[in-house]
Structure 1
Amino acid sequence: MLRIILSILILALGGVLAVGGVELISLGGAWGYVALGALLVLSAVLMFARRKSGLAVYGVAVLFALVWGVLEVGLYWWGLAPRGGLLVLLGLVLLLPPIPRGLTHGTEGFRGYGAEGMVLVASIAVAAVVAVISMVTQPYDTAGRLASDRVATPPVTDADVADGEWASYGRTAAGQRYSPLAQITPENIADLEVAWQYNAGDVHVNLPGTALQTTPLIVDDTMYLCTPKSEVIALDPVTGEERWRFSPTLIELTPALSTYATCRGLTYHDGSDLGWEVSDEPAPTEQEAEALIRASMESATTQAAGVAQNIVAGTAQEGDPNPIILDQAPETPEPMRADCLRRIFLPTRDARLIAVSAETGTICPGFGGPDGTVNLWIGMPNVSPTAFYSTSPPTIAGDVLVVGGSVNDNLSDALPSGAVRAYDIRTGRLTWNFDPGNPDDTSPIEPGETFTQNVPNSWAPGSYDVERDLVFLPFGSGSPDQYGGDRSENVDRFTASIVALDGETGALEWVFRTVNHDIWDYDVPAQPTLVDLTIDGETVPALVQATKQGEIFVLNRETGEPVLPVSEIEVSQNAVPGERPAPTQPVSEISFAPPHVTGAQMWGLTPVDQMMCRIAFAGLNYEGRYTPPSLEGTLTHPGSFGVFNWGGVAVDPARQVAFAMPVYLGFTSTLYPRPDTLDSIVSAPGYPMGNENFGTPYAAVLRPFMSKLGLPCQQPPWGFVAGIDLTNGETVYQHVNGTVEDMAPIPLPLETGVPGIGGPIVTGGGVAFLSGQVDYYVRGYDLSNGEVLWKSRLPAGGQSTPATYLGRDGRQYVVVVAGGHGYVGTKLGDAVIAYRLPEE
């Protein structure tokens, strides 16, 4: 009976591979599946006839799969496993004594297995030897180590931030995500233990893009963090006890309105030493505080923005526009309440900017008006709830607060503006604005006017050069992402670019475009990092920018000119009618661009799903990294998540190295001609990533390039950590990072290298910390060689950037937020966990 069952299984497997292999050949793919399928079918037929030669043929099939696999992917375990794993498993079952003994036609000897059975035994033995060799071979790892003099370089400090504090998103205005603290070192990091855990109580399991992604601030013995529902929480950084919580009243967020809300960080400002006039007004009572919160909601709704509502698709509703509400910020500063000299600035998911006392957690009047609120909808076209808000903390640039925002792309060609605004940090009055559609006029917009709709937006954090009074902002694209045939010259100029603005006036100093005519959603996703580099014996004021497409550009931040070489490569011009792809794209000396994808790199758990991925790949348009989206479907690799996303890289200014988490996950991008109507054609059930793009010639559907089993079609590794010498562009080391423990159906901690979103930090002690990969761990690495020295299990995905600080007890802490991320498939959570070394 077992023989019959196995024969049927092998026959079915062989038949599927043979039929699928024929289809693959018709698409110009490999012929190997037809050969393998034929061998398996022949083996099954022979065993049905009770012939031991079926065992020998099966052994030949195992050897064929093995040799074919080695020729395609080399001695790489994860590449060979889908080709031979199932075959070897079935082969072992075939060697159970009842099977060969039931095959009556064939040679005798070898305890009834015959010479035919020995062929199968030998093939499995060869496969086992190859498997062992491939398991200890990691062809995608690059070992290396920083020079000893670089490793021994003492930490450097920042004059504007105390060594033990993490005062802004990237710790300082330079956005380096570097701390000079050095208590935790490669020698003692293994002793790190949990100091405390706090649960924020804000989990939205019904909204897949909504997650706790904040990087905490630690200033003046208080930790500040924000939640998806725009709360601010103040904690004791040594004990984790809650000190206060600010909860604004918000527009209701529902799946019908939006599936995405986050707050990645807050902005802290200390005006204690600025000579501001202080009133003797006490902090408000609980009732007075509630009244201020209600007032802020009433004066900062979308209805108060002064333009018609645009709920669906960028078309104004019929009827009169709403009454225009002008900027209510005072023209001259009013006396400041004493507890408001130190303030937290909170960007809310309903497009407000609220000033909150860092001491009491209550609204600070005088910023934007008596309710302490600036309405970010003022001046915006195409008002629609949740279509625009600031996901990242504002950037302090001298006396102004620079605010960008995230626009809900790909709904239509008439969405809110990507204009960046600068508000007086004392009063909240608009000081200047930079509108990519009108870049030469940065004077504050006139009452009743609106910014240019649909221009590129700056949704990631900015950085600031205090000495040069320059603000550096990363820009994305206007809507839609996948079609740019109708874009203006200015829109193309600022799409996917880094922009340097004068901090006092907003005047454009320079712009560097990282993608020419972006039609792949390759926004510049991360905070620019400022660092002084020593190159050829000279100190160069540099800016380091990680990008979705895998380039890390190193520019002179005074001029925008490349410090490390940038070249232009020719790219595919195979685009849909109306599109006008750029003929070339910039490539940096530091490039983590994925290798050119081939059918041999398709992956799966078995030969069948691997073959299906090869068939899917053969049916896609793919001519390299910059293949335009198409009607047939295009493989976009890297996909929308990018090689680097909002976590960016961490830069050690002393050792002049960057620590990075490059990840690789391809997407498919398919365009659909759409009528000039408001009919939905791609966002029905079954199109979860459908972009309607109302008002444009094409709708689009984006999906991760996955198999029917929900695994990436491209073989591992999907994620790495890397160390880069910024003085010469050399990648010193690159290691596979992360396991499939929390991805696979069976939770085995197999190290494949996994994707993720979130950023690293580095310290003066020579260690790096990272929690962004999709297995639920925070890890500590030796910065000199990238080796994992410590890890700790998290209760959910750690898709955030850690922080480190010095507690009042004199001990160094590392804090990690485990909020998860529905779009990358990790469990949502609300845990804030701090680690420290044990007391001596």
Structure 2
Amino acid sequence: MPVTITAILFALIGIALAIGGGQLLMLGGSPYYIVTGIAFLVTAVLLFLRRGIAVHLYALIVVCSLVWALWEVGFDWWQLGPRGGLIIVLGFWLLTPWIRRPLGFASPTTGFRYKASAGPLAAAVGVAVLIAVISMLIDSHDMSGKLPEDQVAAAPAMGGNVPPGEWHQYGRTPFGQRYSPLDQVNVKNVANLTEVWRYQTGDVKQPGDVGETTYQVTPLKVGNTLYLCTPHNWAIALDATTGKQKWKYDPNVGLNPDRQHQTCRGVSYYADPAVQANAQTNAQCATRVYLPTSDARLIALDAQTGQVCTTFADKGVLHLEQGMPYNPAGYYYSTSPPVIAAGKIIIGGAVNDNYSTKEQSGVIRAFDVNTGALVWNWDSGNPMRTQPLPPGQTYTANSPNSWSVLSADEQLGLVYVPLGNQVPDQLGMNRSPSVEKYSSSIVALDINSGADRWVQQFVHHDLWDMDVPAQPVLLDIKRPDGNVVPALVGPTKQGDIYVLDRRNGQPIIPIKEEPAPSGTIPEDFSSPTQPTSDLSFKPQPLQERNMWGITMFDQMVCRIKFHSLRYEGRYTPPSLQGSIIYPGNFGTFNWGSVAVDPERQVMFGMPTYLAFTSQLVPRAEVPPKGQDEKGSEQGLNRNDGAPYAVRMGPFLGPLQVPCQAPPWGYVTGVDLRTGKTAYKHKNGTVYDMTPLPLPFKIGVPGIGGPMITKGGVAFLGAAVDNYLRAYNLTTGEQLWEARLPAGGQATPMTYAVDDGRQFVVMVAGGHGSVGTKPGDYVIAYALPK
């Protein structure tokens, strides 16, 4: 009976492999699956016939599969496992006595039944197991090395007059370095960090919330107070030492299903120097917190009490829908904190990707930080006209917007704006010359006038949603020749890190144009070349051998999907048949940006690799509203008003795991003086990605940002397992981790309290798009007293 059941199982496996393998072969893929499927069917027949040669044939299957797997992927355990796991398990099963005895022969003299020979199969299985063990000990994806530890700049420019123990803006200062000069916590003692306090905001995900309800805030620390916001835009002040709430303000943004995102990345803080100079620090609204909301308001609050500062704008509220060409309810708002520089509060805004062609303007506006009066507006559709827009007129509809965080250099008088793309992201027809110039770029604007001083574009005629997603990071770099250059570091979704002279936008690390794939729908075109930086984390092009799965079956399905979709490498245009977009929409880098140490002039970042698919859908084939639609990174994006919708999402297999093989996430260190990458290590485990809490360090995707301290420690949450981790900045070695009660898709920060202790704070609230656990936690860690 066991032999019969085994034969049936082998026959079913053979049929599945032969059918799928035949389809794969017809698409130009590997012949392995159809050949192996036929071998399984022959083995099944031999088992039915009780022939001992079935065991020897299966030994040949094991050997051939092992040779094929090693040829394709070498000693990569996570790729060898799916290829050989089932085959090895079945090999062990065939070696059992209750299988081999019925397949043996009976002695003609004694009648004793001898078991079928186990030698060849046992040897084959033994070698395969040995190869598996060896591959577990080899990390073929690891790159080890060290960053230089020299303090290149003794007194580096950090931007703004921020005390060492405080954190005044999203990236700590207007330079966005995410670097703290505190060193109490260092590589020698960081493993002793323990939780000091935990606060829950009470703002939890609601049943009526949009899918992408996320908690991405980085708190600010001024004096002994933390300032933060929540997904539904509550503003909260906490005692920095104890975590006790001081005040809370709820702007009552309500729920709106037209919002694509429900989040808040941070608030902005401002101390009025005129009031401070008169020693009126306790005067009403002498210090203010500015809260952006998801219903397109910017609200000024008294930093001491949380009361609305009624002298700002319209009784404390600046209505960002002013000058917009359409009704902005749910379609326009700021998810990121505005930057404050030179007495101005400068703000962009997010528009809903791919909902409609009737989107709001991507205008960048500067308002008087005290009165809320409009000082200037820079509209990429009309870039020469920066004087305030007169009442009754509107900005250019659907122009590239800036949804991420801006940086500023008050000494140079420039604000640096990362720009996105014109919606629809995947359709480039009828774009204006200004869109073609400014889309997917960083533009430097004059802080005082809004005039365009320079622009550097990173994607030409963007058809892939390759917005510049991250706050530009500013620092002064001492070049090998001794010259000090004011620099800007711009991470991108496509994996390039652009290092520019921030005075003029010229490259410090060389940029070159590379040929790009062609061939679009007839109405569109693609750029024949695309820029790339010599400092790049762009992935190697995918091949069939990179397809992955939990088993050999879903891996085979992913191989079939790979050949069924269009793919010619980075910048493969979207298509009617469907295209693989790699890097995908989450990018290699996203809004979490990178962190830099301005003294050592090194960078720490988290490149992520997750392929997406993009399929254009002709308008006549788009289903009625309410069916299979979602204006986000997954599902059908309607693009109302355009000739095509787009269906997009991660490139996943039938078991909803990525079709591309891991690793999907790393931590990396770069010497910015030379542009050389020192190390690249897998980051994160599958602990929260699988039904069982398995701690396998496979290297997982993440979205969020890092933070560096003078103590030589980099802190990072972000990965889709729920941990906050500390790394040795020099080597990338993990030194410490803390389990989080929810997803840690925010950027940590650090500060000092009155008794001298250094705290590290992390917000844990989850991310709707990546599916991490939601929550409402703010957690502080410190060394034991």
| Fold shared per TM-score above 0.5 | yes
Contact 1:272 1:342 in 2 (8 A): no
Query: What is the rounded CA distance, in whole Å, between the counterparts of 1:216 and 1:800 in structure 2?
Result: 10
Cα offset, 1:746, TM superposition: 2.3
- Aligned letter for 1:253? L
Q: Secondary structure at the match of 1:11?
A: helix
- Aligned letter for 2:609? Y
Partner residue of 1:573? 518
Partner residue of 1:306? none
Cα offset, 1:676, TM superposition: 11
- Aligned letter for 1:630? S
Cα offset, 1:112, TM superposition: 8.1
Partner residue of 1:67? 67
Partner residue of 2:130? 129
> Does structure 1 residue 556 correspond to structure 2 residue 496?
no
Residue 678 and residue 773 in structure 1: after superposition, are their counterparts in 2 closer, same or farther (change >3 A)? closer
Q: Secondary structure at the match of 2:196?
A: strand
Partner residue of 2:720? 774
Q: Secondary structure at the match of 1:477?
A: coil
Query: What is the rounded CA distance, in whole Å, between the counterparts of 1:635 and 1:784 in structure 2?
Result: 36
Partner residue of 1:702? 648
> Does structure 1 residue 367 correspond to structure 2 residue 370?
no
> Does structure 1 residue 482 correspond to structure 2 residue 401?
no
Contact 2:355 2:631 in 1 (8 A): no
Give 1:111-510 correspondences, 5 Å limit.
116-149=117-150, 160-204=161-205, 206=207, 207-250=210-253, 252-254=254-256, 256-273=257-274, 338-369=283-314, 371-510=315-454
Contact 2:105 2:116 in 1 (8 A): no
Partner residue of 1:313? none
Contact 1:173 1:463 in 2 (8 A): yes
Partner residue of 1:723? 669
Cα offset, 1:680, TM superposition: 4.0
Contact 2:260 2:631 in 1 (8 A): no
Query: What is the rounded CA distance, in whole Å, between the counterparts of 2:416 and 2:515 in structure 1?
Result: 29
Q: Secondary structure at the match of 2:41?
A: helix
> Does structure 1 residue 604 correspond to structure 2 residue 563?
no
Residue 378 and residue 140 in structure 1: after superposition, are their counterparts in 2 closer, same or farther (change >3 A)? same
Task: List alignment gaps of at least 5 residues for structure 1.
Answer: 280-335
**Deviations along 1:727-749, whole A, 9 cap, x unmatched?**
11100000011111111232211
Query: What is the rounded CA distance, in whole Å, between the counterparts of 2:779 and 2:351 in structure 1?
Result: 31
Partner residue of 2:579? 634
**Deviations along 1:406-451, whole A, 9 cap, x unmatched?**
0002112111111011000010000000001000000000001110
Query: What is the rounded CA distance, in whole Å, between the counterparts of 1:42 and 1:420 in structure 2?
Result: 69
Residue 699 and residue 98 in structure 1: after superposition, are their counterparts in 2 closer, same or farther (change >3 A)? same
Cα offset, 1:238, TM superposition: 1.3
Which segment is superposed worse, 95-104 or 590-599? 95-104
Residue 773 and residue 106 in structure 1: after superposition, are their counterparts in 2 closer, same or farther (change >3 A)? farther
Partner residue of 1:23? 23
Cα offset, 1:56, TM superposition: 1.8
Partner residue of 1:801? 747
Contact 2:419 2:468 in 1 (8 A): yes
Query: What is the rounded CA distance, in whole Å, between the counterparts of 1:68 and 1:113 in structure 2?
Result: 33
Cα offset, 1:94, TM superposition: 2.5
- Aligned letter for 2:99? I
Q: Secondary structure at the match of 1:817?
A: strand
Residue 449 and residue 274 in structure 1: after superposition, are their counterparts in 2 closer, same or farther (change >3 A)? same
- Aligned letter for 1:513? Q
Give 1:660-699 correspondences, 5 Å limit.
660-675=605-620, 680=625, 683-684=628-629, 689-699=635-645
Q: Secondary structure at the match of 1:4?
A: helix
Contact 1:681 1:699 in 2 (8 A): no
Residue 367 and residue 678 in structure 1: after superposition, are their counterparts in 2 closer, same or farther (change >3 A)? farther
Cα offset, 1:41, TM superposition: 1.6
Residue 239 and residue 112 in structure 1: after superposition, are their counterparts in 2 closer, same or farther (change >3 A)? farther
Percent identity over the alignment is 49
Cα offset, 1:257, TM superposition: 2.9
Q: Secondary structure at the match of 1:338?
A: coil
Q: Secondary structure at the match of 2:33?
A: helix
Q: Secondary structure at the match of 1:149?
A: coil
- Aligned letter for 2:223? D
Contact 1:265 1:393 in 2 (8 A): yes
> Does structure 1 residue 644 correspond to structure 2 residue 589?
yes
Residue 70 and residue 5 in structure 1: after superposition, are their counterparts in 2 closer, same or farther (change >3 A)? same
Cα offset, 1:55, TM superposition: 1.6
Contact 2:354 2:631 in 1 (8 A): no
Cα offset, 1:5, TM superposition: 2.4
Partner residue of 1:829? 775
Partner residue of 2:82? 82
Partner residue of 2:472? 528
Cα offset, 1:2, TM superposition: 2.7
Contact 1:414 1:453 in 2 (8 A): yes
Contact 1:682 1:700 in 2 (8 A): no
Residue 557 and residue 154 in structure 1: after superposition, are their counterparts in 2 closer, same or farther (change >3 A)? closer
Partner residue of 2:5? 5
Contact 1:212 1:227 in 2 (8 A): yes
Query: What is the rounded CA distance, in whole Å, between the counterparts of 1:701 and 1:113 in structure 2?
Result: 60
**Deviations along 1:736-773, whole A, 9 cap, x unmatched?**
11111111232211111000100000010000000001
- Aligned letter for 1:533? I
Contact 1:40 1:57 in 2 (8 A): no
- Aligned letter for 2:530? Q
Please tell me the root mean square deviation across aligned C-alpha atoms, in Å. Answer: 2.2
- How many equivalent pairs are there? 778
Query: What is the rounded CA distance, in whole Å, between the counterparts of 1:121 and 1:113 in structure 2?
Result: 17
**Deviations along 1:474-507, whole A, 9 cap, x unmatched?**
0001110001111111011111010100000000
Query: What is the rounded CA distance, in whole Å, between the counterparts of 1:809 and 1:87 in structure 2?
Result: 62
Structure-1-length-normalised TM-score: 0.90
